[in-house]
Structure 1
Amino acid sequence: MKKVLYRHLFSKVLGFSLLLFSTSFYAQEEAASTEVVAEDVSAAGGDAAKGKQLFNQNCAACHALDRKMTGPALANVEARLAEDEGLDKEWLYTWIKNSPGMIKSGDAYAVKIYAEYNQAAMTAFPTLSDADIDDILAYTAAPPPAPVVAAVADAAGAQGDSSGGISNEIILGALALVFALLVIMLILVNNTLRRIAEANGVILEKEKAQERTPIWKAFAQNQFLVLVSAIFLLLASAYFAYGWMMQVGIDQGYAPVQPIHYSHKIHAGDNKIECKYCHSSARVSKHSGIPSLNVCMNCHKSIYEYKGNPEGPSADDIANGYTNEFYTGEIKKLYKAVGWDEENQKYTGESQPVEWVRIHNLPDFAYFNHSQHVSVAGVECQTCHGPVEEMEVMYQFAPLTMGWCINCHRETNVKVEGNEYYEAIHTELSKKYGVDKLTAAMMGGLECGKCHY
């Protein structure tokens, strides 16, 4: 027992020593990296922290530090231009503030960049001061930060868990000991009472096993019970058979795996992209339509990797494999489908079709018009499709049955404001029947021919 105690004590001391060592080592490394960054910042003549913020606000849409995008990579751009082209910082000031003017003036390197990047002039930033540009250049010259090691936090958490309170092993051991003592006491009391009874001449009769009729035989002999059970089983079978047949063709909860994983949670939720930006035909057409991949490329020409939510991935996302690397890999699938060459920032013409799996599918004999509901009635997408902004994997939210549609037509009030046609109908119904609220059902929304050909 002592060995176990010493072993636990030794492990605690060893763990605490490792924690202090790793913490001090990390602090030294962080201090060293801070000194290096400070030296780079002082050498560049700007504040890299402020420069990062300015870079993300003004430059990140077209430039990255380590790769070519709509514009060239900007890592160490000041040093590269000075070494390769002989250009000083004053040239950069002028170029950033008025790039179209430099192209028109015939500056050799400005014309070269303009021709290399599809004759698309860089946006001018006249509001940036020389100090702001110095900060941006300091950020582009600073080395990338070292990845933060999470082992220190894990060690601290483990140390906190092991040092606080009584361990579960001790509590379980104490309860097991108390239970064993109670069992022993009951056995001793039972033996003592038996000896006292035998000493006083009390004869203990043993219980005789009585022969009983088996339950199944007693059940079979009771005709009334058999009849009631048979009726109950028949009714229950009919009920479940009816429920199963009523679910035929209803795919509520259907969530197929798509060839390219698309997260509505990230696009519609985190980034607040409106549904009708991608499904634009829902405003004017019967169908909402599958967005063209060119719509995706409007953003993903510049967004080539997923850097994650600022709050970090949740435990469920990590368990399901939804990491930054996973989402970046899905963007690469998009590039392959449209034939996009990342390195040269142009289309190759070698595209591949994406076989999307349809989720919402009405019967052929049912008519539904998206534009009538979206543009005329003003129905929100979430009314039928559920909270899409929270869906990592898109699924069918509503049952889409006939009864579900009819209930909506009966209960939903029509927006008559600003629509002369509906206002006229509402006025006539109010005069004739005293109608206060106008629903689709009152305008013939329950007629068979409205939804069935």
Structure 2
Amino acid sequence: MKKVTHRSLTTRLSLTLLAFLLSFSTLTFGQEPAAADAAAQAAPAADLGGDPVAGKQLFNANCAACHKLYQKMTGPALFGVGDKYEKEWLYKWIRNSQELIKSGDAQAVAISNEYNGAVMNAFPALSDEDIDNIIAYTYTPKPVPTTPVATEQAGGGGGGVSSDIILAVLALVFLMLAIMLFLVNKTLKRIAVANGVEYEDKDRADRLPIWKAFAQNQFLVLVSAIFLLLASGYFAYGWMMQVGVDQGYAPVQPIHYSHRIHAGTNQIDCKYCHSSARKSKHSGIPSLNVCMNCHKNIAQVGDKTYQEGISEYQIDYNKEIQKLYDAVGWDRDNQRYTGETKPVKWVRIHNLPDFAYFNHSQHVTVAGVECQTCHGPVEEMEIMYQYSSLTMGWCINCHRETNVKLESNEYYAKIHESLSKEYDFPTLTAAQNGGLECGKCHY
């Protein structure tokens, strides 16, 4: 007879506890290598005797304009610089690099030649302790950006269930109710027939169909025809007025450019990039060399901005900057232009008809109109879109409501003075100054 072992309750609890401890130990030991790596990377900073926290402040105040930790900029990348050069040499180099170069030091001369003789600022005020702190900061391990996992956001009233699912369920319920009513009605008719009950209306055949009654009533026909004509004209006019109106148009550009970051977060003036708006009819698309004025030194965005782009907009800003480098032929590792460029085919957003004349300089420089008046809250737009309708009626309303800028403009001030004497105008609008004449915009 086969022997069967019956485990007691204590044995089963012990096995369960052992399994839990094993799984917990696996998770714990799985995290240890990462902690060990971080400790190993942070170890050199501790060996150098510096304070990386204080070093970060000194680095940002004195070094960040020309150096980055992990890639070349105006000067070399400084990650782990204490392993490349002796500490005493670094003291001399940081305090006065030009003096060290003139002395004929081989390392100093080599660095100067590699970076085309770029002059490094002297920092004689930095103490040995300050330099040690900066060197300690250069051992900060490079942060690895993590891609956030998209999760469903639970709605307040929906309990996390999609509204489409709720509508589908409601439609199914109504369909089932309609089928049930049909079946109940059919069953009741069968019962009535079986019991000899007459449920059909005998006078039904003598009734006039509703469509015939409507056709015989000439007044109703006339009123309905007039209503249909007016409604058709209204909707046809509304549809035709939208032809050529691209309000809300937001095309995808070959290189993503965030006005929200540049004009909003960084508060860059619109006219820095669109400089031709001051003196030209066109605002112009900035040439890529304007972008490189900043991005020659900004090859990556901050970690917070990177995570925001991935999670909220599904955009990798660092890849978009690399597209800019590919277009202008910039080798960011060697900090030089390769000469191999690629054209960028931007997609135009605002496009007035050829028969309409609009001059940016007249509005921006002379009238002092803000860019947001026509283009909307650009500083909040991640993807640029056409904010205003830009129709003729929209322009006319603006001319009727906008006062002419009389301050520091003797020409318009003189016109206002003569008009106020004749017509008693307290202010001078663009419309009163001839802004509604056809020839102002069409010629």
Whether TM-score is above 0.5 comes out as yes
Instruction: Measure how far apart 1:117 and its partner are.
Output: 0.9
Q: Secondary structure at the match of 2:308?
A: coil
Q: Secondary structure at the match of 2:240?
A: helix
Residue in structure 2 matching 1:277, options 272, 277, 280: 272
What amino acid sits opposite 2:68 in the alignment?
A: A
Q: Give per-residue Cα distances to partners, 1:378-433, cap 9 Å, x unaligned.
A: 11111111111111111111111222112111111222222222332233333333
Distance 2:385 2:82 in 1: 50
Instruction: Measure how far apart 1:55 and its partner are.
Output: 2.8
Distance 1:333 1:381 in 2: 28
Residue in structure 1 matching 2:245, options 250, 253, 275: 250
Specify whether residues 217 and 39 from structure 1 end up closer, same or farther in structure 2 by C-alpha distance, changes over 3 A only.
same
Residue in structure 1 matching 2:336, options 332, 335, 346: 346
Residue in structure 1 matching 2:66, options 36, 50, 62: 62
- Report what 2:254 is aligned to: 259
Distance 1:61 1:39 in 2: 27
- Report what 2:95 is aligned to: 97
Residue in structure 1 matching 2:122, options 121, 124, 136: 124
Distance 2:407 2:267 in 1: 28
Distance 1:369 1:34 in 2: 59
What amino acid sits opposite 2:72 in the alignment?
A: K
Q: Give per-residue Cα distances to partners, 1:115-157, cap 9 Å, x unaligned.
A: 1112211233445443332222101124335778989xx9xx9
What amino acid sits opposite 1:385 in the alignment?
A: H
- Report what 1:208 is aligned to: 199
Specify whether residues 20 and 264 from structure 1 end up closer, same or farther in structure 2 by C-alpha distance, changes over 3 A only.
farther
- Report what 2:232 is aligned to: 237
- Report what 1:6 is aligned to: none
Instruction: Measure how far apart 1:42 and its partner are.
Output: 2.4
CA contact (8 A) 2:59 2:134 kept: yes
Specify whether residues 219 and 59 from structure 1 end up closer, same or farther in structure 2 by C-alpha distance, changes over 3 A only.
farther
Q: Which runs of 5+ in 2 are unaligned?
A: 1-16, 155-160, 162-194
Instruction: Measure how far apart 1:90 and its partner are.
Output: 2.8
CA contact (8 A) 1:337 1:353 kept: yes
CA contact (8 A) 2:299 2:321 kept: yes
Distance 1:206 1:80 in 2: 106
CA contact (8 A) 2:72 2:333 kept: yes
- Correspondence 1:307 to 2:298: no
- Report what 1:164 is aligned to: none
- Report what 1:396 is aligned to: 386
Distance 2:148 2:33 in 1: 14
After superposition, residues 326-341 of structure 1 pair within 5 angstroms as 326-341=316-331
- Correspondence 1:417 to 2:368: no
What amino acid sits opposite 2:199 in the alignment?
A: K
Distance 1:350 1:31 in 2: 44
Q: Secondary structure at the match of 1:141?
A: coil
CA contact (8 A) 1:268 1:274 kept: yes
Q: Give per-residue Cα distances to partners, 1:343-373, cap 9 Å, x unaligned.
A: 3221111112111121111222222211111
Instruction: Measure how far apart 1:442 and its partner are.
Output: 2.1
Specify whether residues 296 and 213 from structure 1 end up closer, same or farther in structure 2 by C-alpha distance, changes over 3 A only.
same
Distance 2:46 2:437 in 1: 77
Q: Give per-residue Cα distances to partners, 1:175-232, cap 9 Å, x unaligned.
A: xxxxxxxxxxxxxxxxxxxxxxxxxxxxx99782434765545544444333322221
Residue in structure 1 matching 2:366, options 359, 376, 393: 376
Q: Which runs of 5+ in 1 are unaligned?
A: 1-12, 82-87, 162-167, 169-203
Instruction: Measure how far apart 1:435 and its partner are.
Output: 2.1
Distance 1:273 1:427 in 2: 38
Distance 1:260 1:375 in 2: 30
Distance 1:108 1:20 in 2: 56
- Report what 2:81 is aligned to: 77
- Correspondence 1:115 to 2:110: no
Q: Give per-residue Cα distances to partners, 1:61-103, cap 9 Å, x unaligned.
A: 432323333221211111112xxxxxx3232123223223433
Distance 2:134 2:208 in 1: 93
What amino acid sits opposite 2:262 in the alignment?
A: H
- Report what 2:53 is aligned to: 49
Distance 1:26 1:238 in 2: 72
CA contact (8 A) 2:329 2:342 kept: yes
Instruction: Measure how far apart 1:31 and its partner are.
Output: 6.7
- Report what 1:133 is aligned to: 131
Instruction: Measure how far apart 1:283 and its partner are.
Output: 1.0
Distance 1:444 1:149 in 2: 57
Q: Percent identity?
A: 66
Moved more, 298-307 or 24-33: 24-33
CA contact (8 A) 1:337 1:352 kept: yes
Specify whether residues 39 and 223 from structure 1 end up closer, same or farther in structure 2 by C-alpha distance, changes over 3 A only.
same
CA contact (8 A) 1:40 1:142 kept: no
Specify whether residues 349 and 388 from structure 1 end up closer, same or farther in structure 2 by C-alpha distance, changes over 3 A only.
same
Q: Secondary structure at the match of 1:227?
A: helix
What amino acid sits opposite 1:304 in the alignment?
A: A
CA contact (8 A) 2:42 2:141 kept: no
Distance 1:273 1:74 in 2: 29
In the comparison of the two structures, how many residue pairs are matched?
383
Distance 1:298 1:135 in 2: 31
Distance 2:215 2:125 in 1: 95
What amino acid sits opposite 2:105 in the alignment?
A: D
